[in-house]
């Protein structure tokens, strides 16, 4: 089967997890009754790409504390870094050496890049006094139109880092 450049399938954008050691006295503290911190993320898949129309997709990053979410969750920040591009303002998926530009944003207005806090990007943060359970963040993905690339699977790996 032949795939034209007008229907380039975009493979799964995988989100890898890298939890920083929890420094909080509550969640993940290692105390006998304290539970571990859990960080998870859903996959982001842009589907088939057409240079005439760009694509949008989203993924969820979940930070959870405790068995059944009943431990106290302190404030924290969440950063996203990409394997293929150290600059969060210019992320790219690759197929061999061919790049396909995309980015991840903090909201569906696609105005603020979610990154590591550097170079025109911001961290997501959660600053409660104290909260129970889990917090979800949405990573809003945008694959801009006008990129003429060969058909095939393009991927990147995102590392999620939680810091207390």
* 12 has pLDDT over 70: no
Q: Choose among 51, 56, 55, 45: nearest CA to 11.
A: 45
Share of the chain above pLDDT 70, in %: 71
Q: Percentage helix, strand, coil, to 5, in the chain?
A: 5, 45, 50
Question: pLDDT tens across 18-39, in order?
Answer: 444 333 345 655 544 345 678 8
* 136 has pLDDT over 60: yes
Q: Choose among 8, 12, 103: nearest CA to 49.
A: 8
Split at pLDDT 50, 70, 90, the class of 164 is confident
pLDDT of residue 20: 41
Assess contact for 150 and 140: CB atoms under 8 A: no
Spell out the domains of the chain, with CATH numbers in brackets: 5-163 (2.60.40.1090)
Higher pLDDT pick, 73 / 107: 107
Rounded Cα gap, residues 61 and 76, in angstroms: 13
Question: pLDDT tens across 56-106, in order?
Answer: 999 999 988 765 555 667 778 999 998 998 889 899 999 999 999 999 999
Higher pLDDT pick, 96 / 127: 96
* 13 has pLDDT over 60: no
Higher pLDDT pick, 55 / 5: 55
- Mean of pLDDT over the chain: 78
């Amino acid at each position: 089967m032949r795939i034209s450049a007008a229907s380039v399938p975009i493979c799964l954008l995988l989100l890898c997890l890298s939890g920083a050691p929890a420094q909080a006295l509550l969640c993940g503290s290692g105390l006998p009754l304290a539970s571990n911190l859990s960080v998870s993320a859903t996959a982001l898949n842009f589907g088939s790409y057409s240079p005439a129309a760009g694509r949008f997709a989203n993924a969820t990053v979940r930070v959870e504390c405790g068995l059944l979410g009943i431990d106290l969750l302190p404030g924290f920040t969440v950063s996203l870094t990409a394997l293929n591009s150290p600059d969060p303002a210019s992320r790219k998926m690759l197929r061999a050496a061919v790049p396909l530009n995309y980015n991840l944003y903090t909201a569906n207005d696609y105005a603020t890049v979610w990154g590591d806090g550097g170079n025109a990007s911001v961290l997501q943060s959660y600053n409660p006094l104290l909260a129970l359970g889990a917090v979800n963040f949405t990573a809003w993905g945008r694959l801009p139109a006008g990129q003429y690339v060969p058909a095939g699977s393009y991927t990147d790996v995102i590392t999620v880092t939680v810091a207390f």
